[in-house]
Structure 1
């Protein structure tokens, strides 16, 4: 996320809530699903590890947690945790991000991830040409140790057509019936990618943080939803912390544009100078209640819609 300020502690605490509000929020988070948990170990600095993120989700009654790392698949971590805590009711998932560390837009990496039980493929994030160009003149949070500079990635060839590797990846995603996530590709690439993916039988498509780096207008959101995509909004961008970019009213507006049935909240938390993931959910749910968003709608965007993408009962 954008490093917009450093005027926050390493971990942003949960603000005080009344006993009644705590109970109300706690009830709404039973069955929640986080499709965007950035716990560690990771090359990027993180404020909690996979085990703590899992235990916090378990204590809050979450239905599922999906680990996202920009550089490695997380399915082995999920398997180890489930071996250690076999009685846990929280489902654990992960996938693969198609950055340079995974070979870029690499069908072999996708095939491997699916065979390991991966539930999502993120197209390039930090290595996306769009991301690199967006941060060419401004800073972006650094990895804990310096890494090789990224090679810019795009799903398009020199003629503006989808590459053969991208098409093969769409076929693999369709066959595996898993989620195709747009990563940090520009919205202009997403339309081309999602249109072809739909033709090839991909049924689960998601735009990550459409208001950040992707470049989505309201019209773009409507167009992508018409193709069958879900809009995943990063909680970290609407609550206190260094990644905050919007107010709750902005989230509500984008929910109205896409429709509640096509909106998902993912924490995108684990980064420094921000709340922990479950606390992020508590904050945004409380804010949405303050703004008179119905409990039914909150359950859809925190649980039911994501459950459908993971093939879980709502």
Structure 2
């Protein structure tokens, strides 16, 4: 896509006008742990999005993992906006658990996505930690119990060799539901590339590379994945989040509040200009943008989407590009067009 540099006549109302029809594919809707409450409840999130004229929202629950039930209740209670949920594989429910996926696909309106985990992937669990005497120390080195229990059961995608039975069954389930998309979760670059290969082998129609996983990839790898038809996720939290602020939004234990490996603490997530420049270099054809908001100390998701659109305007994205990133590509991912 050619970058249109012609000036846009910007009004105060323009971001709100561009919010009409937008889709936020990444909202942490809750419920949340008591130690890390959300900004709004799921019904309020959907109602605000509806009032703004948004087309759809997609709910995440990365603690217990199943937002398909939440989305079903909200869809019934807040008509006039599409609300979707899915399943995030978590160690709370056995990690790589085909039975959980099978159930989620038939629960409520059915899971719209299957996601390979956030804090409980091996890639994340092996990197999260705390500062000790000013130096970052991973939990696995700081707490033997964490290494023995949490790291040992963390979710991994094998980089080569045979496909484990549980993973094979999950991929087969997703392939058998063409309206469902696969989300890589917070896995390593090598795991992303292997999962892309497996998705092609199993005939999975749609897969999106989660925004932290995308940022860990090289630009060349992102270009390759986009050329092969995979979606790439970007989010507001990539560049507007709290750096170094410990949160217990997955583990109940206060000592497991990550300070060093969270999204906002990585060098890849330092500044919106660099973020936007890389997306342009990769190409916008398969990029999907959302907020990753919902946490109590961030703006409400609706305002996060407005902030995203305003920032894209500041960065000289054209109206057509903003529509592509916040409406058309998300709609393709969700099977709405």
- Using the size of structure 1 for normalisation, the TM-score is 0.83
Counting matched residue pairs gives 284
Pair 1:107 & 2:101 matched: no
Pair 1:217 & 2:241 matched: no
CA drift of 1:23 comes to: 1.2
CA drift of 1:76 comes to: 1.8
Q: Runs of 5+ in structure 1 lacking a partner?
A: 1-19, 141-146
Does the Cα contact within 8 Å between 1:248 and 1:288 map onto a contact in 2? no
Q: Give the corresponding residue for 1:27.
A: 17
Q: Give the corresponding residue for 2:256.
A: none
CA distance in 2, matches of 1:229, 1:96: 20
Which SS does the other structure have where 2:54 is aligned? coil
CA drift of 1:120 comes to: 0.4
CA distance in 2, matches of 1:110, 1:21: 46
Q: Work out which of the residue numbers 120, 125, 129 in structure 1 matches 2:118.
A: 125
CA drift of 1:32 comes to: 0.9
CA drift of 1:216 comes to: 1.0
Does the Cα contact within 8 Å between 2:188 and 2:213 map onto a contact in 1? no
The structure whose Rg is larger is: 2
CA distance in 1, matches of 2:57, 2:137: 30
CA distance in 2, matches of 1:130, 1:309: 25
After TM superposition, the structure 1 = structure 2 runs for residues 227-246 of structure 1, keeping only pairs within 5 Å, are 227-239=228-240, 241-242=242-243, 245-246=269-270
Does the Cα contact within 8 Å between 1:162 and 1:193 map onto a contact in 2? no
CA distance in 1, matches of 2:173, 2:198: 13
Q: Give the corresponding residue for 1:39.
A: 29
Pair 1:275 & 2:276 matched: no
Q: 1:73 to 1:191 in 2, by over 3 A?
A: same
- RMSD over aligned Cα atoms: 2.3
CA distance in 1, matches of 2:101, 2:161: 23
Does the Cα contact within 8 Å between 1:210 and 1:231 map onto a contact in 2? no
Deviations along 1:163-208, whole A, 9 cap, x unmatched? 2211221111111111100101111011111111112110111011
